[in-house]
Structure formats: structure tokens, C-alpha cells
Amino acid sequence: MDFVSTEGTPRGLFTCEFCELSTPYSYYGQKPPNTRGIVLLEECFVMKDPFSPEKEKFLILGSTCSLCHKTVCIGPDCSLFYTKRFCLRCVKEHLDQFPQQIQTELLKKKPAQTTGSASS
């Protein structure tokens, strides 16, 4: 299969198991190619940032939930990172272990969830 991407050969198709966002990725790991000095704190699905003209700029698509091991995108409606990646479902299950800031944040977000777009 030939997926659309500029950089390198796409490794496969990344699909978020929650929102079904799906797009080809070109790297999986903690050290995106051509990015000296950058280290990711989790194993990520990465592609070249399609919105930047520069080849070295990368875009993290998602990773694996540290609890349920489902593939999840980094969108705020699907997962959050707090020293580790958690899908939102797992976060809710263990909400009490998360700091207050995160708890209030999640409560606040609920009504706006349908329109929720990432931090743009």
C-alpha cells in the first residue's frame, strides 16, 4: 500500500482506537529522524509535519496508553500525557490519582467535548 506522505517510506497507518483518526506514519520510537537533540519521553507514532515547509519538522500523532495499551492519538479528547501516556478512558477510571488541575480541567471540558479541537 502506498500512503501519502512526503518523507521516507511510510511505515504504516496510524489509527487512533478512540476517535478513528487515521493517517500514515513514517517513524515509531523516541528519536525522530533528522532531529538532533530531540528525545521523546514515550514511544510515538511520528510523521513529517505536513504543515511545515521544512523537512526536519516532525509531528507526533499518538502513542500507546500506558495502562490499556491501546493506540491513541494525542488529541485532548482521546488522551493526555502526564509523565506517561493515558487514554482518557483510563484517566477517568483512575481520576483520583491525577492532580487536581487535571481533574478540574477534565470536568470543565466535558460540555465542550463535541466541538473540542486541539489547542488551536
In angstroms, rounded to a whole number, what is the distance separating the alpha carbons of residues 106 and 88?
A: 9
- Minimum CB separation of residue 26 from other proteins in Å reads 11
The per-residue DSSP string of 50-82 comes to TTSS-TT-EEEEEEE-TTT--EEES-TTTEEES
2 binds other proteins (CB under 8 A): yes
Q: Which residue of 12, 84, 112, 113 would you call a contact of other proteins, by CB under 8 A?
A: 84
In angstroms, rounded to a whole number, what is the distance separating the alpha carbons of residues 49 and 84?
A: 23
5 binds other proteins (CB under 8 A): yes
Under the rule (CB under 8 A), what is the footprint of other proteins? 1-6, 19-23, 35-42, 44, 47, 49-54, 56-57, 59-61, 63, 67, 73-76, 80-86, 93-94, 96-103, 117-120
